[in-house]
Amino acid sequence: MMQHLATALGGVLAGFALAVPLLWQQQRTLTKVRWAATHDDITGLPNRRLFLDRLRAALAGNTPVGVVLLDLNHFKTVNDTVGHEAGNDLLDLVGRRLTDLPGPVLAARLSGDEFALLVTGDRDTTAGAADAAWRVIATHPFRVVNGELHVTASVGYTHTHTHRPSIGTRQLLSQADSAMYEAKVTTGHVREYLPHRTATVRSRDRQRP
Protein backbone atom coordinates (compact mmCIF):
# COMPACT_ATOMS: atom_id res chain seq x y z
CA MET A 1 0.00 0.00 0.00
CA MET A 2 2.73 2.44 0.97
CA GLN A 3 4.60 1.60 -2.21
CA HIS A 4 1.55 2.42 -4.31
CA LEU A 5 1.11 5.75 -2.48
CA ALA A 6 4.78 6.60 -2.98
CA THR A 7 4.51 5.79 -6.67
CA ALA A 8 1.37 7.92 -7.05
CA LEU A 9 2.94 10.80 -5.14
CA GLY A 10 6.03 10.57 -7.32
CA GLY A 11 3.87 10.82 -10.42
CA VAL A 12 2.08 13.88 -9.07
CA LEU A 13 5.35 15.60 -8.22
CA ALA A 14 6.79 14.75 -11.62
CA GLY A 15 3.72 16.20 -13.32
CA PHE A 16 3.94 19.32 -11.18
CA ALA A 17 7.60 19.72 -12.05
CA LEU A 18 6.71 19.60 -15.73
CA ALA A 19 3.72 21.94 -15.37
CA VAL A 20 5.50 24.74 -13.49
CA PRO A 21 7.89 25.69 -16.32
CA LEU A 22 5.01 25.54 -18.81
CA LEU A 23 2.83 27.81 -16.68
CA TRP A 24 5.74 30.20 -16.15
CA GLN A 25 6.36 30.35 -19.91
CA GLN A 26 2.68 30.98 -20.59
CA GLN A 27 2.61 33.78 -18.02
CA ARG A 28 5.75 35.30 -19.51
CA THR A 29 4.24 35.19 -23.01
CA LEU A 30 1.01 36.78 -21.75
CA THR A 31 2.99 39.57 -20.08
CA LYS A 32 4.88 40.24 -23.32
CA VAL A 33 1.65 40.33 -25.32
CA ARG A 34 0.06 42.79 -22.90
CA TRP A 35 3.15 44.99 -22.92
CA ALA A 36 3.29 44.97 -26.73
CA ALA A 37 -0.35 46.06 -26.90
CA THR A 38 0.37 49.24 -24.94
CA HIS A 39 3.99 50.11 -25.83
CA ASP A 40 5.96 51.11 -28.89
CA ASP A 41 8.35 48.44 -30.16
CA ILE A 42 11.14 50.86 -31.22
CA THR A 43 11.33 53.20 -28.23
CA GLY A 44 9.67 51.15 -25.50
CA LEU A 45 7.51 54.17 -24.69
CA PRO A 46 3.76 53.97 -24.11
CA ASN A 47 1.91 53.95 -27.42
CA ARG A 48 -1.15 55.92 -28.52
CA ARG A 49 -3.55 53.49 -26.84
CA LEU A 50 -1.92 53.74 -23.41
CA PHE A 51 -1.46 57.51 -23.74
CA LEU A 52 -5.16 57.99 -24.48
CA ASP A 53 -6.11 55.68 -21.60
CA ARG A 54 -4.03 57.76 -19.18
CA LEU A 55 -5.44 61.00 -20.58
CA ARG A 56 -9.03 59.74 -20.27
CA ALA A 57 -8.37 58.68 -16.68
CA ALA A 58 -6.97 62.11 -15.83
CA LEU A 59 -9.97 63.87 -17.36
CA ALA A 60 -12.39 61.53 -15.62
CA GLY A 61 -10.76 62.44 -12.31
CA ASN A 62 -10.85 66.16 -13.17
CA THR A 63 -7.07 66.26 -12.87
CA PRO A 64 -5.50 69.37 -14.43
CA VAL A 65 -3.33 68.14 -17.27
CA GLY A 66 -1.64 69.44 -20.37
CA VAL A 67 -0.98 67.71 -23.68
CA VAL A 68 2.23 68.38 -25.59
CA LEU A 69 2.69 67.11 -29.14
CA LEU A 70 5.95 67.25 -31.05
CA ASP A 71 7.45 65.87 -34.20
CA LEU A 72 10.96 65.95 -35.58
CA ASN A 73 11.65 68.43 -38.34
CA HIS A 74 12.82 66.87 -41.62
CA PHE A 75 12.75 63.33 -40.22
CA LYS A 76 12.10 61.91 -43.71
CA THR A 77 15.43 63.40 -44.79
CA VAL A 78 17.16 61.42 -42.04
CA ASN A 79 15.71 58.15 -43.33
CA ASP A 80 16.49 59.06 -46.94
CA THR A 81 20.10 60.12 -46.33
CA VAL A 82 21.41 57.89 -43.55
CA GLY A 83 18.94 55.01 -43.61
CA HIS A 84 16.06 53.63 -41.57
CA GLU A 85 18.35 52.00 -39.01
CA ALA A 86 19.75 55.39 -38.09
CA GLY A 87 16.22 56.78 -38.12
CA ASN A 88 15.09 54.14 -35.63
CA ASP A 89 18.14 54.88 -33.47
CA LEU A 90 17.15 58.54 -33.50
CA LEU A 91 13.57 57.76 -32.45
CA ASP A 92 14.83 55.61 -29.59
CA LEU A 93 17.21 58.31 -28.38
CA VAL A 94 14.54 61.00 -28.59
CA GLY A 95 12.26 58.77 -26.52
CA ARG A 96 14.94 58.36 -23.86
CA ARG A 97 15.48 62.10 -23.56
CA LEU A 98 11.77 62.74 -23.26
CA THR A 99 11.47 60.05 -20.59
CA ASP A 100 14.16 61.82 -18.56
CA LEU A 101 12.25 65.12 -18.45
CA PRO A 102 11.67 66.23 -14.84
CA GLY A 103 8.28 66.44 -13.22
CA PRO A 104 5.03 64.46 -13.58
CA VAL A 105 5.39 63.81 -17.31
CA LEU A 106 4.37 60.72 -19.27
CA ALA A 107 6.16 60.48 -22.62
CA ALA A 108 4.67 58.42 -25.46
CA ARG A 109 5.30 57.76 -29.13
CA LEU A 110 2.09 58.12 -31.09
CA SER A 111 3.26 57.22 -34.61
CA GLY A 112 6.12 57.87 -37.00
CA ASP A 113 8.21 60.71 -35.59
CA GLU A 114 5.35 62.12 -33.51
CA PHE A 115 5.68 62.04 -29.71
CA ALA A 116 3.38 63.21 -26.95
CA LEU A 117 3.69 64.28 -23.33
CA LEU A 118 0.94 64.05 -20.75
CA VAL A 119 1.80 66.65 -18.11
CA THR A 120 0.07 66.63 -14.74
CA GLY A 121 -0.14 70.14 -13.33
CA ASP A 122 -1.11 73.67 -14.23
CA ARG A 123 -0.65 75.62 -17.44
CA ASP A 124 2.81 76.87 -16.47
CA THR A 125 3.97 73.32 -15.76
CA THR A 126 2.80 72.27 -19.23
CA ALA A 127 4.55 75.23 -20.86
CA GLY A 128 7.75 74.34 -18.99
CA ALA A 129 7.57 70.73 -20.14
CA ALA A 130 7.02 71.82 -23.76
CA ASP A 131 10.04 74.13 -23.64
CA ALA A 132 12.16 71.45 -21.96
CA ALA A 133 11.18 68.91 -24.62
CA TRP A 134 12.27 71.26 -27.37
CA ARG A 135 15.59 71.99 -25.65
CA VAL A 136 16.59 68.38 -24.94
CA ILE A 137 16.11 67.56 -28.61
CA ALA A 138 17.65 70.64 -30.21
CA THR A 139 20.53 71.41 -27.85
CA HIS A 140 22.70 68.32 -28.20
CA PRO A 141 23.34 66.02 -31.20
CA PHE A 142 22.23 62.41 -31.26
CA ARG A 143 24.84 59.70 -31.75
CA VAL A 144 23.37 57.05 -34.07
CA VAL A 145 24.78 54.07 -35.93
CA ASN A 146 26.09 56.24 -38.79
CA GLY A 147 27.48 59.14 -36.76
CA GLU A 148 25.86 62.20 -35.19
CA LEU A 149 22.60 63.89 -36.10
CA HIS A 150 21.53 67.43 -35.23
CA VAL A 151 17.74 67.71 -35.24
CA THR A 152 15.05 70.07 -34.04
CA ALA A 153 11.38 69.61 -33.28
CA SER A 154 8.12 71.48 -33.68
CA VAL A 155 6.23 71.51 -30.38
CA GLY A 156 2.64 72.45 -29.62
CA TYR A 157 0.74 72.27 -26.36
CA THR A 158 -2.60 72.94 -24.69
CA HIS A 159 -4.10 72.58 -21.20
CA THR A 160 -7.43 71.47 -19.81
CA HIS A 161 -8.01 74.69 -17.86
CA THR A 162 -7.06 77.01 -20.68
CA HIS A 163 -10.60 76.97 -22.07
CA ARG A 164 -13.04 74.81 -20.12
CA PRO A 165 -12.73 71.82 -17.76
CA SER A 166 -15.16 69.63 -19.73
CA ILE A 167 -12.91 69.33 -22.77
CA GLY A 168 -12.38 65.81 -24.14
CA THR A 169 -9.38 63.82 -25.31
CA ARG A 170 -10.05 64.36 -29.00
CA GLN A 171 -10.30 68.12 -28.57
CA LEU A 172 -7.12 68.31 -26.52
CA LEU A 173 -5.17 66.34 -29.11
CA SER A 174 -6.61 68.47 -31.89
CA GLN A 175 -5.63 71.67 -30.09
CA ALA A 176 -2.09 70.48 -29.40
CA ASP A 177 -1.79 69.32 -33.01
CA SER A 178 -2.91 72.74 -34.28
CA ALA A 179 -0.31 74.44 -32.09
CA MET A 180 2.36 72.03 -33.33
CA TYR A 181 1.35 72.80 -36.91
CA GLU A 182 1.67 76.50 -36.20
CA ALA A 183 5.17 75.97 -34.80
CA LYS A 184 6.14 73.99 -37.88
CA VAL A 185 5.04 76.62 -40.40
CA THR A 186 6.45 79.56 -38.42
CA THR A 187 9.45 79.25 -36.12
CA GLY A 188 9.72 75.49 -35.70
CA HIS A 189 9.98 75.96 -31.94
CA VAL A 190 7.18 75.91 -29.35
CA ARG A 191 3.63 77.21 -29.60
CA GLU A 192 0.66 77.18 -27.24
CA TYR A 193 -2.80 76.60 -28.66
CA LEU A 194 -4.57 79.94 -29.12
CA PRO A 195 -7.70 79.57 -31.30
CA HIS A 196 -7.62 82.82 -33.30
CA ARG A 197 -3.88 82.84 -33.92
CA THR A 198 -3.78 79.18 -34.98
CA ALA A 199 -6.75 79.63 -37.33
CA THR A 200 -4.97 82.57 -38.97
CA VAL A 201 -1.78 80.58 -39.50
CA ARG A 202 -3.67 77.67 -41.06
CA SER A 203 -5.62 80.03 -43.33
CA ARG A 204 -2.45 81.72 -44.54
CA ASP A 205 -0.75 78.39 -45.15
CA ARG A 206 -3.63 77.16 -47.30
CA GLN A 207 -3.24 80.25 -49.49
CA ARG A 208 0.39 79.50 -50.29
CA PRO A 209 1.03 78.33 -53.88
Active site residues: 113
- Please give the torsion angle defined by the CA atoms of residues 107, 108, 114 and 117, in that order, rounded to the nearest 10 degrees: -40
Return the amino acid letter for 185: V
Nearest to 133 by CA among 148, 149, 114, 146: 114
Q: With contact defined as beta carbons under 8 Å apart, do 108 and 50 qualify? A: yes
Distance CA 172, CA 68 (A): 9
Q: How many Cβ atoms are within 10 Å of 43's Cβ, its own excluded?
A: 21
Which three-class secondary structure state does DSSP give residue 146? coil
Q: Terminus-to-terminus CA distance in the chain, angstroms?
A: 95
Distance CA 68, CA 76 (A): 22
Q: With contact defined as beta carbons under 8 Å apart, do 46 and 108 qualify? A: yes
Distance CA 102, CA 16 (A): 48
